[in-house]
Amino acid sequence: MFTFDLIILGLSTTFWYGFFQLPQNLKIVTVIFVVLTGLISLFLKANYKIREFNNTKKNTYLLFEGVIFSQIPVFIFFLLYFKHLVVIKFLFANLITIFTGLKLYRLIFHYYLFNFKPTKNVLIIGNNSYSKLIADEIINKKALMMNIVGFVEDFSQEDIIEDKSYKIYKQPVDLSKLIKEKRIDIVVIANKQRLNDELLSALVLAIPRHVKLYRMPDMYEMITGKFFIDKQSVNKLFYDFMNKRSIVYDVCKRIFDIVSALIIISVTFPILFYVGIRVKMADGGKAIYTQNRIGKGGKVFKCYKLRTMYSNDYIPKNVQQGGYAQNQDSDDRVIPFCKFVRKARFDEIPQMINILKGEMSIVGPRTEWEDLVKLYSKEIPHYICRQWTKTAWTGWAQINQGHCINNDDVAEKLQYDLYYLKHRNVLWEIGILIKAVFLALGGRHG
């Protein structure tokens, strides 16, 4: 899909550039500009998440939005050289052609994916809640084109489930014969305890070279982008995290934080200045306030925020009527003109000061309010593990899940945070930041 998109972006731009007889000296630069910005925009709009690929209205909109973003830098580029109506015609024709070509290809790819692509048969070793969890995740992601053949009971006899949705093969089982008869492509080990020697030996003899073997936590990460949390996996994460610590990474990460924070502050300062004046005029209160947040190792620090609500002496209407005011955008404590400021997360830009001070990072587990951290740490197992690194302005959880406050959603958010801890690297973090900025500008950043 990536290669086809590159070809469509390049061919369409080349054709329309020549058709409208634009300056030849800018042709190569324009084509490269469109191709690069187009591929980046489509990536940031989640067009290459094949495991979640589907022909939905949302994906069509994200595709169209990505194509529009690909034309904006070229439009700005041309404005620097000359102003002419033909540029608008070129950009419009190019946009329509690229969108039509990309959408048509996706329709064909979608049809192939769900009608012609061979289905992979999956056998899961284990008959427990872990087995059912990974099976349900695979079934829910239809684009994976995987079929759950069934569960094979191990010898632990722990947490056995009786689910008629899946075939259960009880011991004794001839694994070699089963794998051959059912044409198994993937075997997933989903045990809760260590496999005994008897089962391990049977697996060595039964699984051919062409059959892929995965641990359940690894398979779970691959198809969800989340970390599978239990005592064993968290302990393993601890050793991996400690052994992969690097002074090179720390230095690069710090440079990335400082550079990113300075750029964001510089670009948004005029907006922040204007909003700050408007907030001050709304009720006479301070434009910037601080809130206790939790950082690395549970350390409390003062986090800077742009105020978007009326001062504390203001009583919301629903509280006057005996109700409860939640900290949401619909709350009437929010100053009316600040609703977009909150959606675009401009109110959190002052956190760049905390980043420059070294109290936060630009990317990582999102920094949380002190009282919420105390609550979640008591009610959500392993929640404290997200404090192994600096908390941050945005992160893997924000671009995948968004804002959440109830315990179930926060528990899922922790899976994204621990996935980040396991796989973090500066190049990936740059991608997360760019996508977060795109989401914020669209009012969809959590």
Nearest to residue 54, comparing CAs of 145, 146, 118?
145
Check whether 86 has a pLDDT greater than 60: yes
pLDDT digits (tens, 9 = 90+) for 185-199: 999 998 877 777 877
SS3 54: coil
Residue-level pLDDT at 49:
66
235 in a structural domain: no
The reply to whether 291 and 389 lie within a common domain is yes
User: Identity (one letter) of the amino acid at 283?
Assistant: D
pLDDT digits (tens, 9 = 90+) for 249-287: 999 999 999 999 999 999 999 988 888 888 888 777 788
234 in a structural domain: no
pLDDT digits (tens, 9 = 90+) for 122-142: 999 988 889 999 999 998 888
Among 54, 85, 115, which residue terminates a domain? 115
DSSP calls for 400-425: HT----SHHHHHHHHHHHHHHHHH--
The reply to whether 31 and 142 lie within a common domain is no
The reply to whether 371 and 435 lie within a common domain is yes
Q: Which residue has the tokens 């504390």?
A: 312
Residue-level pLDDT at 384:
93
Could you tell me the pLDDT band of residue 361, with boundaries at 50, 70 and 90?
very high
The C-alpha atoms of residue 276 and residue 338 are separated, in whole angstroms, by: 10
Six-digit token pair at 82? 């000359």
Between residues 444 and 43, the one the model is more confident about: 43
Residue 387 domain boundaries: 247-312+329-441
Check whether 155 has a pLDDT greater than 70: no
Check whether 17 has a pLDDT greater than 70: yes
Task: Give the sheet arrangement for strand 168-169, strand by strand.
Answer: 168-169, 146-152, 120-125, 186-189, 212-215
The reply to whether 298 and 432 lie within a common domain is yes
- Residue 417 CB neighbour total at 10 angstroms: 27
The reply to whether 201 and 78 lie within a common domain is no
Between residues 32 and 2, the one the model is more confident about: 32
The C-alpha atoms of residue 214 and residue 340 are separated, in whole angstroms, by: 45
84 in a structural domain: yes
* Mean per-residue pLDDT, 11-22: 89
* Mean per-residue pLDDT, 351-359: 94
| Helix, strand, coil in percent for the chain, rounding step 5 | 60, 10, 30
Between residues 258 and 49, the one the model is more confident about: 258
Residue-level pLDDT at 199:
78
**Spacing of C-alpha 338 from chain mean position:** 26
* Mean per-residue pLDDT, 174-182: 90
The C-alpha atoms of residue 5 and residue 429 are separated, in whole angstroms, by: 24
The reply to whether 13 and 46 lie within a common domain is yes
Residue-level pLDDT at 324:
39
Q: What is the CA radius of gyration of the chain?
A: 26
Residues with Cβ < 8 Å from 424, sequence gap 6 or more?
A: 364, 389
- Residue 183 CB neighbour total at 10 angstroms: 11
The reply to whether 282 and 373 lie within a common domain is yes
SS3 284: coil
The reply to whether 216 and 262 lie within a common domain is no
**Spacing of C-alpha 283 from chain mean position:** 38
The reply to whether 106 and 126 lie within a common domain is no
Nearest to residue 334, comparing CAs of 368, 353, 306, 292?
306
**Spacing of C-alpha 431 from chain mean position:** 10
152 in a structural domain: yes
DSSP calls for 303-340: EEEE--B--TT---HHHHTT----SSTTSTTB-GGGHH
Could you tell me the pLDDT band of residue 46, with boundaries at 50, 70 and 90?
low
Among 98, 115, 132, which residue terminates a domain? 115
Among 115, 140, 170, which residue terminates a domain? 115
270 in a structural domain: yes
Residues 51 and 141 sit within 8 Å (Cβ to Cβ): yes
Residue-level pLDDT at 325:
44
The C-alpha atoms of residue 219 and residue 216 are separated, in whole angstroms, by: 5
Could you tell me the pLDDT band of residue 52, with boundaries at 50, 70 and 90?
low
pLDDT digits (tens, 9 = 90+) for 213-228: 999 999 999 999 999 9
pLDDT digits (tens, 9 = 90+) for 259-268: 999 999 999 9
* Mean per-residue pLDDT, 109-126: 84
Domain CATH number, residue 132: 3.40.50.720
Nearest to residue 388, comparing CAs of 294, 301, 292?
294
133 in a structural domain: yes
- Residue 128 CB neighbour total at 10 angstroms: 22
SS3 206: helix
Top mean pLDDT of 13-22, 108-117, 402-411 is at 13-22
Residue-level pLDDT at 202:
83
Residue-level pLDDT at 116:
78
* Mean per-residue pLDDT, 6-21: 89
Check whether 82 has a pLDDT greater than 80: no
338 in a structural domain: yes
pLDDT digits (tens, 9 = 90+) for 293-344: 999 999 999 999 988 887 755 444 444 444 434 445 456 677 777 777 887 7
232 in a structural domain: no
User: Identity (one letter) of the amino acid at 244?
Assistant: K
Top mean pLDDT of 46-50, 161-165, 301-305, 340-344 is at 301-305
The reply to whether 17 and 71 lie within a common domain is yes
288 burial (CB, 10 Å; 0-12 / 13-18 / 19+) is: middle
The C-alpha atoms of residue 147 and residue 372 are separated, in whole angstroms, by: 41
SS3 305: strand
pLDDT digits (tens, 9 = 90+) for 363-421: 999 999 888 899 899 999 999 999 999 999 999 998 888 777 778 889 999 999 999 99
The reply to whether 376 and 422 lie within a common domain is yes
- Residue 134 CB neighbour total at 10 angstroms: 24
The C-alpha atoms of residue 126 and residue 108 are separated, in whole angstroms, by: 38
SS3 42: helix
The reply to whether 279 and 349 lie within a common domain is yes
Six-digit token pair at 442? 């669209």
User: Identity (one letter) of the amino acid at 314?
Assistant: Y
Residues 409 and 369 sit within 8 Å (Cβ to Cβ): no
Domains in the chain, number: 3
Between residues 82 and 309, the one the model is more confident about: 309
